[in-house]
Amino acid sequence: MSKTLAFFDVLFGKIFSEVNKKLIERATLWLSLFGFVIHLLLIYSKKFELFHFLFESQLLDDPISAIYTPFSIILVYEIYLLIVYLPRSFTTAVSKQFEIISLILIRRIFGDIPKIDLNVNWFDEAANRQLIYDLTGVLLLYFLIFLFNYYQRKLPKVPVSERLKRFVSSKKAISLVLLPVLIVTSFYSAANWLGALFGVAQNEVVLPDINAVFYNEFFTILILADVFILLLSFQYTERYSQLIRNTGFVICTILIRLSFSTTGLTNILLIVSSALFGLAILRIYNAIETKSS
């Protein structure tokens, strides 16, 4: 067993090395710039009717919508970082999840700005109300992430025991499995959405919500990974406070996943409640650990 875990340690170190992380970071930067330019070209091609589009999309109606594309590419990179940080601690992984969902909200704002109607009473239009919900949600989430990271730094330092090392190695194995799943899921989701896009052009299907494409499936997979890590933690710790903390963080992921199935104010409430619940769990855990130490 120890040899198997040592193999995962070595493989994780090679695949997620600093050199590879820098390469992926640089590739993300250039892909974001390239995607932004291509999106702008498509928008102005449609505006000046340079060629005929087989489909209609509000993301091609306003130059501001072009920001949607680089944000989508950056979000994939953030999910890659989530996989890298997963073995560090449950707390770090959950913090990264909150950052990802906040970026998804910001991306959605850029995608929805062209839908805003300034010629009607602001609150009579659903798109206008959604903008207010999203802006408020981003501010609340930004503040809650700040508090979460603040209290995370106040966690008491614990010595790295042999049992803890084995637990970290087990989580590295899960990260190694999640990486190809991330790649396959992203390509599969993109292909499905493109297929639906051309299906809409032929009046064959209804186009799914682009804001939920890929993330719906990925957060479902992430819940399964979190549950697997939770079950593994039973083998390496018997402390009630840690088990409840880890279980609470799995609930945070489930609430985020549920938010993709809702719209409007309910969507924002689920996301903010996830961050609030995670913060409450962390504060209680901090209090217990501080008192114990």
3-state secondary structure of 103: helix
Residue 166: per-residue pLDDT: 85
Residue 147: per-residue pLDDT: 96
Residue 199: per-residue pLDDT: 61
| Residue carrying structure tokens 């930067």 | 29
Q: Using CA atoms, how far apart are residues 174 and 186, in angstroms rounded to an integer?
A: 18
* Domain, as residue range, for 138: 2-292
Render pLDDT for 80-106 as a digit per residue (tens, 0 to 9).
Answer: 999 999 988 889 999 999 999 999 999
Count of structural domains within the chain:
1
Q: Using CA atoms, how far apart are residues 97 and 104, in angstroms rounded to an integer?
A: 11
Helices 162-201, 2-15: crossing angle, 10 deg rounding: 50
Residue 53: per-residue pLDDT: 62
Which residues of the chain have a pLDDT value below 70?
Answer: 1, 51-59, 158-160, 196-212, 293
